[in-house]
């Protein structure tokens, strides 16, 4: 069985590339989420509103995330198309995230737990959208 997996892995470099890209995406996501949550937590400790804190963390992590996603995850250089796709996907993602954050807060989750649940759900959606933005080739 292990030999079959190894053979398949070696014979399908395109599948291997997707797995490695997904792992790099996960690492970048962990870093960006850490920055996002760190800014959010700092502002919550300073008695800021959860929505303001979340938005500030989002904007700061967005900048770091674009650089890492472009160079590390997708191994490309910045260009008009990928920056536009990245920002568009993150604007969409922001509205999903802020909606989920407020839903979780409304349900009764604490200000400390709600953004963690939120980011876990939104990051899956974001991967699919970014995959399209960075890899879709127009005919």
Residue 51's pLDDT is 93
Lowest average pLDDT, out of 46-55, 65-74, 107-116, 121-130, goes to 121-130
- C-alpha 97/C-alpha 120 separation (Å) is 10
Determine contact, residues 57/98, Cβ cutoff 8 Å.
no
Residue 29's pLDDT is 85
Asked whether the predicted pLDDT for residue 137 surpasses 70, the reply is no
């Amino acid at each position: 069985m292990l030999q079959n997996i190894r053979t398949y892995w070696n014979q399908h470099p395109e599948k291997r590339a997707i797995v490695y890209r997904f792992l790099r995406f996960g690492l970048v996501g962990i870093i960006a989420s850490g920055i996002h949550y760190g800014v959010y937590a700092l502002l919550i400790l300073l008695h800021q509103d959860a929505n303001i804190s979340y938005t500030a963390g989002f904007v700061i992590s967005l900048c770091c995330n674009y650089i890492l996603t472009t160079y590390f995850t997708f191994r490309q250089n910045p260009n008009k198309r990928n920056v536009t796709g990245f920002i568009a996907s993150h604007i969409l993602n922001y509205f999903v995230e802020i909606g989920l954050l407020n839903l979780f807060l409304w349900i009764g989750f604490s200000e400390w737990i709600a953004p963690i649940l939120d980011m876990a759900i939104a990051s899956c959606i974001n991967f699919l959208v970014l995959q399209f933005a960075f890899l879709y080739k127009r005919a």
